[in-house]
Structures are given as C-alpha cells and as structure tokens.
Structure 1
Amino acid sequence: MKNFTLLFITIFLLVGCSSKDENENWFDSKEEAIKHGLKMEGVQDTNVLEEINIDGEAFLVFFNAASEDYVDLGIANIAYENKKYSWFRSKAFTKVNTSKNENAIEISWKVESKSGKKYTAYAGTLITDDAMKIQTEEGFITPIINKKLGIYYYLN
C-alpha cells in the first residue's frame, strides 16, 4: 500500500509540474492574442481603452462592465516570447467608483507581466475635466483620462 501511495504521489507531481497553463495560448500576431484574450474575458474590442508600452512590455487596459456607479477595469499583458504573443492577466478586474454622489476614490494595485516584471496601476473617479495630476511612486503625473466612463488611469 505504501508503494502504491508513493507511486500515485510521484505521478501526480510529475503530471502537475510538467503541464502548461491551460489558458495559455500563443499566437503569431499581437492582434490574434488580443482577439483571443478579449474573447476569453467576454468583452468586445470596443471595450479596449488603451495600449500602454513600458520597458518593452505591452499592456492593454480594458473594461468589462460599466454603470453610473462603477467601471470594472482590467489590465492584461500581451506577452512576447519566441516570436509569439500571448494574453496574460495577473489580477482580476478592479472596480473603479464613478459615482458623482460619492467622495472621489483613488485606488492602486500591483500588476505583473508574464516575464515577472512588477508595475503599479492607478485609477480613480474623474472629478473635473481640467488637467489633473495624481501622486504616484514616481511623483506627480498626468494620468490618462476617459471622460466617457468618468475615470482616469495610469500604469508605471
């Protein structure tokens, strides 16, 4: 019985450690990877807000739900390895408050690329259409503003 248990555990570890991520798909073009990623997320390409490039990493900012009170914001890394592209998202959607009835809320969270680089995302309620600055780890910066959704966001 001990040999059977040991054999079972060994096979389980070998199979578990050698299998790839089931959601990981690689494509010949960035556009194919984005199309596949948006389909996996259940969102349309019209929900893409911005492509941001930092340190050789490409990120796509998008949303999957929006109302008068909130926007579900997502950030995905479009990974590039061995001349192939893949959709990678390290965090779930982040709910950004857009209600004008509430106090303005600014949130930040960590985002990781497939290659392991770490970044900080910032988002919040757009209070004014005027040029605005937010404080980040790098100091005060001007974020990307989306007037239609009533939010701002920034990734560094």
Structure 2
Amino acid sequence: MSIDPLIGARPAGGDELAELYRRHARRLAGLAAAVTLDRSVADEVVHDAFAGLAPRLADVRDPVAYLQRSVVHLGIRVVRRRERARAVPRRPIEHSSIPEVDELWALVCTLPAQQRAVVVLRFWEDLTQDRIAEVLDVPVGTVKSTLHRALRTIEEQL
C-alpha cells in the first residue's frame, strides 16, 4: 500500500520513518506554526507527532494523515495551554507584500484554534473537506460547519 504518491511503495523497516520525516517534516512544521502561531514550538510539535507515530507505524494505514492529525491536535493543545497561561499575543508568522493578505492572516489568527486549523488545512494545505475530516478524525459535517463559522467570522470583521 502506498503511504504517499510522492514516495510510492513503503520503504522497509526504520527507513520508512526517516523517509516520512525527510519528505514531510518541513511542511508539517509549517502546519504546526500556522496552528500555534509560534514557529518556536513548531519543530517540537512535529517531533512529538513523529514520536507518537514511531511505535505504531506498521499498524497505521495512512501515516501522512496520522502525522497531519497529530500536528493539528498537538498544536491545538499548545495553544490551549498558552491561552490558559495568558502568554504571547497572536501575530502573523509571516508578512506578505500584499496588505490584504496580511489583513486576512491577522483575522485567521483571531479564530479559535480548531477553526484556525480547519481554515489552514483547507486553504493553506489545500485539502478537501473529506480529507480534513479524515485528518482531524471528525465527521465531514463538522468540518463544513467549522469552516462556515470561521469564514463567517472573518467576513464579519472585514
């Protein structure tokens, strides 16, 4: 069974985890940074996701989806912990030369973590609603309603 169209067949043994890391760690770190709004914890979130995958790699049908789901869930956990501690204010992780993009990103940053995760997966990672549901392990209807609420909130603030 293929784990990723870019990889093809599953590599044997411990090579599979290393190959997954080589191919996906950077993109997963971007996802983690977008969910947490903090690049400094993104690598730690990705490391924790890979550490969670390692012992169950042979049993996981889709390791990439597992890693995406783990990064989102671990990232949300970081955000909730930080919000409870009332830490660093939210700010964009990157600046664009187009003011409208910065304005939209600033609005995305104000969304609750779960809504922000769905928006990032949909529009940054370009995942379908079905794939987002699979990644987050929620019904498609939940993805649709969460995305709708997030977009409505952004639209109201524009």
Short-chain TM bin: under 0.3
TM-score (norm 1): 0.26
Tell me: higher relative CO, structure 1 or 2? Use CA pairs within 8 A at least 6 residues apart: 2
**Bigger radius of gyration among the two:** 1
Higher percent of residues as helix: 2
